[in-house]
A and B are shown apart, each in its own frame.
Chain A
Amino acid sequence: MIKIEKLHKSYPIGKDSLHVLKGIDLHIKEGEFVSIMGSSGSGKSTLLNIVGLLDVHDEGNYYLNGQVIKDMNEKKAAILRNKFLGFVFQSFNLISYKTALENVALPLYYKGINRKERLEIALEYLEKVGLKDWANHLPNELSGGQKQRVAIARALVTKPKVVLADEPTGALDSTTTDSVMDLLKAINDEGMTVFVITHEEEVAEQTKRIVRLKDGVIISDELTKASKAV
């Protein structure tokens, strides 16, 4: 599903440049539940942004669903994101003036699905994350955990191949963290590839494979107990 070879990325900082990813090789197969761990500055967010086509890499190869990603213009990237990827962000990134339902329905709007149908689908997904009763609330009327569940519903609504979650529990307390992780596990059980970035061991342990990143290189890549339990 995701294949990365010798990926390099640096950011210019003034005259110098900061080499963030220094040759990453990573292969994630369909249906995997992978977490990337690392301290801040290890390059894990950069990796996710590149995988999510939110940013571009400098060197190396990246294949998404067998398609080589190179010299993407914004239009092509937008189509691929809409088709293959679902995002869950640490800060939720809901549109503040839209209700939960409208937020969830938005990716379907960009897919070109008519209003009636997309609201039906969106409601179905809100029900899945247990927020059907909150459909017509604005984001600022929801708790953090609820917002993240709306964001997850929004990420899932287009039935993407891969769900990318950047510190999905970073802004949540432990109870809501568990409920969000349970949701992600349930998604993975349905066969969706889930790619989580975290710096919390407890979160990482609930995934099936942990990739540890340090200073822009992979230092370990191992399966967890959770995967063996299956």
Chain B
Amino acid sequence: MFDLDRWREIFQSINKNKLRSILSALTVAFAILLFTLLFGIVNGLTNFFKEAFADDAQNSMFIRVWKTTKPYKGLQLGRRIQLRNTDYDYVTGEYSNKIQYQSARIYKNFTIKYKNNADAYNVRAVHPDHQFLEKTIIDEGRYLNARDLKEKSKVIVIGRLIKRDLFGEKPALMKRVNVNGISYMIIGIFSDDGGDNEERMAYIPVTTAQMLYGNNDYISQINLGYDPSLSLDAAVAFGNKLERDMRKQLNIHPDDQSALSVRNMAEANKNVGQFMFILYFIAIIVGSGTLVAGIIGISNIMIFVIKERTKEFGIRKALGAKPASIISMVVQETVLITTLAGYVGLTLATFILSSESLREVLEEYFIKDPSVSQGVVIGATIVLVLSGLIASYVPAKRAANIKPIEALNAD
């Protein structure tokens, strides 16, 4: 129940004891400020790492090959490993239940020409699934499809920046471009969060590339997206098994790390996940420490305050104050101060974290977009307010229940 007189008493008490009120408010505000800043920075670090891995799908795996560095089964070292369509099909056949997406990749570098504009660009010959593995965003038209591959169509999907280089503001869709002397139809224009390099890139069907450039079944790399329902551990195990099987398939020494590798995002995710876990763990420990320090601060102040006011409580009781009215007066005063101070600390921290100049500095230290969820901070504030409540209730109850004559004689 709102009791105007009670609040008048409380404001009078706060007003007459400014130093004490300010001290307890500072303790709380500072605790919340530190807590919020800490979690803001940890969140900023997390955001940075999340973005650093945003280029490719979180569940992607790349099978890449180089030269052997160990002789194996009578084969010389220094042998160049070549992936072929049979290897691609082997992966499909062997692991179809663990694979969500699969695409080959052939790396090419071609001059793409439109009218008088021409430049050299990286071109990747891929399967349709590649769109999801690379998180390619189609802005106009469409991506490669199964029919393009089947018909070995001369179609090309170009990056936003190639379009800008060659066409400027003019429309490019369904126009023909000259790719190293062969005419391709632009069927789509894409963008990519991975940065400029990824957007100055073009995709053509893998079958078209194999037919036109060498007429072989070579591929440079196999990209997979493992079934996202797999746990990180299962995905890591899958990656390891895939690596072993591919070595066997390609007659590579089991320990020849340089000849073949499976780059597994699951491992990176697991590492980042562990790193983040440890970071949050530390943040929670330090954050709780800050809160505990705040709680101890309030408790100390409250014990002192109540001792100081024992005589006043005695007078009030002699005049007819019930113990409950004394307890609630003290508790309400504390809760008011902690709530206000918590709010001030929170506002200040939010203000600091949102300052542009600070954000620029922090970004150099891998801290991006530092912010804290309202829930965490409000939770922390509630913890402090509750602690203030307990920290004031316990000594206030004791003070309110000592015999008035003892309270009156206290000094």
Contact = CB atoms under 8 A, between A and B. Distances in A.
B108 interface: no
Interface stretch (A36-44, A50-58, A126-134, A195-203): A50-58
Contact of A93 (B17, B325, B408): B408
A106 interface: yes
A130 B162 CA distance: 97
A139 to B, nearest CB: 11
Interface stretch (A13-21, A75-83, A222-230): A75-83
Contacts of A186: none
Nearest to B318: A87
Contact of B16 (A79, A97, A114): A97
Interface string B301-318: 000000000011011111
A75 B315 contact: no
A158 interface: yes
A97 B21 CA distance: 15
Interface in A57-95: 74-75, 77-79, 81-83, 87, 89, 93-95
Given A54-B404, A54-B408, A115-B5, A78 B16 contact: no
B381 to A, nearest CB: 29
B8 interface: yes
A75 B324 contact: yes
Nearest to A158: B320
Contact of B316 (A56, A110, A114): A110
Contacts of A75: 322-324
B46 to A, nearest CB: 50
A111 interface: yes
A107 interface: yes
Contacts of A6: none
Given A109-B5, A115-B5, A74 B405 contact: no
Given A89-B408, A93-B408, A115-B8, A74 B318 contact: no
Contact of A154 (B8, B16, B319): B319
A54 B403 contact: yes
A98 interface: yes
Contact of A111 (B17, B315, B320): B320
B250 interface: no
A142 to B, nearest CB: 16
A177 interface: no
Interface string B379-411: 000000000000000000000110111001000
B1 to A, nearest CB: 13
Nearest to A112: B5
B321 interface: yes
A49 interface: yes
B354 interface: no
Interface residues of A, number: 29
Contact of B318 (A52, A79, A97, A111): A52
Given A54-B405, A74-B401, A97-B16, A81 B8 contact: no
A49 to B, nearest CB: 5
Contacts of A56: 403
A30 B311 CA distance: 31
A179 B176 CA distance: 115
B313 to A, nearest CB: 10
A55 B405 contact: yes
Most chain B CB atoms below 10 A, which of A56, A83, A97, A154: A97
Interface string B82-98: 00000000000000000
Contact of B322 (A52, A78, A95, A97): A78
Nearest to B323: A74
B274 interface: no
Contacts of B403: 54-56
Contact of A79 (B17, B315, B322): B322
B5 A49 contact: no
Contacts of A89: 408
B305 to A, nearest CB: 13
Given A55-B403, A74-B401, A98 B12 contact: yes
Given A75-B322, A75-B324, A97 B315 contact: no
Contacts of A55: 403-405
Contacts of A106: 316, 319
A111 B5 CA distance: 12
B111 interface: no
A53 B276 CA distance: 63
Contacts of A83: 320
B322 A74 contact: yes
A115 B9 CA distance: 11
Contacts of A87: 318-319
Nearest to B401: A74
A56 B317 CA distance: 15
A89 to B, nearest CB: 7
Contacts of B13: 97
A107 B404 contact: no
A74 B317 contact: yes
A168 B401 CA distance: 26
Contacts of A74: 317, 322-323, 400-401
Interface of B: 4-5, 8-9, 12-13, 16-17, 311-312, 314-325, 400-401, 403-405, 408
26 contacts: A49-B405, A52-B318, A54-B318, A54-B403, A54-B405, A56-B403, A74-B317, A74-B322, A75-B322, A77-B404, A78-B317, A78-B321, A78-B322, A78-B323, A81-B317, A81-B318, A82-B319, A83-B320, A87-B319, A89-B408, A93-B408, A97-B13, A97-B17, A106-B319, A107-B320, A114-B5
